[in-house]
Amino acid sequence: MDIYKIDTYAKSLIKEAAHNIKASLTSELIIESKSEANDLVTNIDKETEQFFIEHIKADFPEHRIFGEEGFGDDIKDLAGYVWLLDPIDGTTNFIHQKHNFAISLGIYKDGVGILGYIYNVMEDTLLSGSLNGGAYLNDQRLPMLLPTTVEEAVVGINARWVVPNRHVHHEGMVNLLKTVRGTRSLGSAAIEISYVVTGRLDAYMSMRLSPWDVAGGMVLAKEVGAVVTNLAFEHLDLLGADSFIVSKPGLHDQLLSEYIKLKQNPAR
Ligand code: IPD
Ligand code: CA
Ligand code: CA
């Protein structure tokens, strides 16, 4: 299968889906909550996932789709071609701000990430990359990331991990906050990963993310030399939820060995 053909196809689907999402901004959203009140989904999340699935199934019938809203396949392994899709990452932002949300897509072949995309819909920027082919912001090739230190780092982190919680020793996180140059929280894992890839953030971490949040970003991160693991310093589980950290080289080791002490991996 020609990877360039899939790449061109995926980019055109993403652009069309983004166009449809933007066009929907003036109509009233149907908002539902899923597992919890802060776990939201809209009719546009669902329609966008269905749009991708209809096209992929028609044009690449042997490919499987692992999508957040559950319209794709029942994925228990990553054999063959699997598209890991979050139709809208940052749904709360989509609803509340109409800003800072993204289409996140990773295409994997036998468990190896071959293509990755993060499309920041309102910013109209496409981050794309392919295995050993580099990462691009629109048409501009991104440089390799340089190492940095905790003291000079701006880190993406959600404030909830800095108060007592059952997943991570908060004292280490407080210490981290006191040491870093700054912290940011954008509300879209995919955009936060894209910020590390483009050098706007030095690291981003979360206690619990799903495969579709990170699959595209992981392909891109690798292409600029960023390090990705879960917070137990292991390879990520792309079949279920896992903790997550992406960061510049060097910083990754320092963050995990000196500051982030897991009580338990929340996803296990
Ligand atoms: C969420 C966002 C958010 C992250 C959550 C994700 P969604 O995805 O990426 O930033 O903290 O864990 O579930 O629900 O907006 O697709
Ligand atoms: Ca998501
Ligand atoms: Ca989503």
Residue ID of nearest Cα to ligand 1 atom 16: 89
Q: How far is the CA of 213 from the centre of ligand 3 (A)?
A: 8
- Residue 70: count of CB within 10 angstroms of its CB: 10
Name the DSSP letter for residue 262. B
Distance CA 114, CA 106 (A): 8
Ligand 1 atom closest to the Cα of residue 39 is 14
pLDDT tens per residue across all 268 residues of the chain: 799 999 999 999 999 999 999 999 988 889 898 877 778 889 999 999 999 999 999 999 999 999 999 999 999 999 999 999 999 999 999 999 999 999 999 999 999 999 999 999 999 999 999 999 999 999 999 999 999 999 999 999 998 889 998 889 999 999 999 999 999 999 999 999 999 999 999 999 999 999 999 999 999 999 999 999 999 999 998 999 999 999 999 999 999 999 999 887 666 5
Of the listed ligands, the closest to the CA of 206 is 1
Q: How far is CA 22 from the centre of its chain?
A: 20
The model carries a pTM of 0.96
Ligand 1 atom closest to the Cα of residue 188 is 10
Distance CA 85, CA 83 (A): 6
Domains present along the chain, CATH in parentheses: 3-141 (3.30.540.10), 154-258 (3.40.190.80)
Pocket, ligand 1, Cβ cutoff 6 A: 68, 86, 89-92, 187-189, 206, 209, 213
Distances (CA, A) of 25 to 42, 100, 104: 12, 13, 19
Of the listed ligands, the closest to the CA of 211 is 2
Distance CA 119, CA 60 (A): 22
Strand order across the 154-156 sheet: 182-184, 154-156, 203-209, 242-247, 227-229
Per-residue model confidence (pLDDT) at position 254? 94
Q: How far is CA 180 from the centre of its chain?
A: 23
Per-residue model confidence (pLDDT) at position 266? 60
Of the listed ligands, the closest to the CA of 45 is 3
Ligand 1 atom closest to the Cα of residue 40 is 14
Name the DSSP letter for residue 26. G
